[in-house]
Amino acid sequence: MLRHWSEFLSPADIEQIHNTSMRLLADVGVKFLDDEAIAVFRKHGIKTNSHTAYLDEKQVMKALEAAPSRFTIRARDPDKSVVVGDGTPVFVPGYGAPFLVDYEEGKREPTMEDYHNIARLAQALPNQDMSGYLLIEPRDIPPETAHLNMMHANIVHSDKPFMGAVEGKAGASHAMEMASILFGEDVVKEQPVTIGLINSLSPLRYGHKMVEALMEYARWRQPVVVAALAMAGASAPITLAGMLAMQTAELLAGITLTQLISPGTPVVFGSTSSNVDMRTGALSIGSPELSLVVTATAQMARHYRLPCRSGGALTDAHSPDAQAGFESMLGLLTAVNSGVDFVLHAAGILSSYLAFSYEKFVLDDEMCGMVRRFRRGIAVTPETLAYNVIAKVGPGGNFLVEPHTVKRCRSEFWQPAVCDRGGLEAWMTGGRQDAVARARQRWQQLLAEHQDPPLDATTARQLQAFVAEH
């Protein structure tokens, strides 16, 4: 396994970013558009003015002492529980796309049927470690109750861990209640069973509903990813160092609030920040600057001894083409090589977070498997050095039929499910399908074969009744 992370910031750089963040927190402050949050800060002796909290370094660092450096999210199938913060990346599908790029129709609005399909694929695809929450934004159901339908779909179609709703206090409470039906209230109060994504509102703000959700998760001691989507040149300074300092201040303010409410609540230090393309004004997430920010964010998280979140297979391309491929691999490989613990947007995203694609979901999952194998590295043992085998075969021999080869031929190398290794002539005579066409066939086959994992009948009825009642 890889033992050293990619790093671009020196210890002196990290110290300068930290110090600038502390100055911003103390002198400029972070605005929390929620009266209850401001009351919590005030109760703990933190200076406030209207809805702005001003935190000094001692207050922040004291709060961080309680936050765990690793935690486990329990799955319905205990064997599929995930550990966040142990050096192994957790891959989670795309999140929040308002559009789909359909293989036949092009851009269209997602439906709840699409959501069910993507939840089923999150269960079936081998390299997605969790199911999401806002996998896409279905447009054919009432927005007031969409969060209930989406959480229910993830619980029913998958036995992997799932992300929870963050639609204000009500949505977060519903997430806790549904998790309590599934696992039991005592379990939910004792260990992580879901995780919520809390986004800051750059520059230096948190919106009302996000703060409500953050506080509700903290009361239940359920983990949250506190993340920024700052845009260098628009909602953040154009310089990456300035954006990192501002982002760090935002994240530490939100994380501090979780610890003031309930010390020891698991938190993840997160970022999807990148630069604006100064020619178009559009956010760019396929840029090398995003990968630099990912690496730097991971370094800052390690500085504070916190798990880290970033995006993964990210692209500005509008279809799963060559641009999507090389941009996504840069982002995913950077996240893994930088020591990111929680890779949200590991698969499926197109068009700078604005679109999701079934085909790209499948292709990115394959990419996750490839990167995961790369991450494992090379095992060096007496058996793998194979001296006796080499000596037996000798000069000019062949290893193909050796027992050492036969024993390992199905497990030694990573095997793709979509990539074509059949040779040029076989491809020419077999219809000359490209990777997107093969990915389409794969997701259709996976959906045709899908069976929901078993769920206790009483639990299933209670969940259905809860969704219907709310």
Q: What is the pLDDT of residues 126-180, one digit of tens each?
A: 999 999 899 999 999 999 999 999 999 999 999 999 999 999 999 999 999 999 9
pLDDT, average across residues 186-207: 97
Amino acid 173: pLDDT: 98
pLDDT, average across residues 8-25: 98
Count the Cβ atoms, other than its own, within 10 Å of residue 449.
9
Taking the C-alpha atoms of residue 332 and residue 128, their distance in angstroms, rounded to an integer, is 13
pLDDT > 90? residue 326: yes
pLDDT > 90? residue 242: yes
Question: First CA to last CA across the chain, in angstroms?
Answer: 47
Taking the C-alpha atoms of residue 25 and residue 132, their distance in angstroms, rounded to an integer, is 32
Write down the mean pLDDT value for the chain: 96
Q: Which residue has the tokens 């090379």?
A: 378
Q: Which residue has the tokens 């941009």?
A: 327
pTM of the model: 0.96
Whole-angstrom CA distances from 359 to 127, 160, 286, 347 are: 15, 21, 18, 10
CATH superfamily of the domain spanning 71-376 = Trimethylamine methyltransferase-like (3.20.20.480)
Amino acid 2: pLDDT: 54
Give kind and range of the element (H or E) at residue 394: none
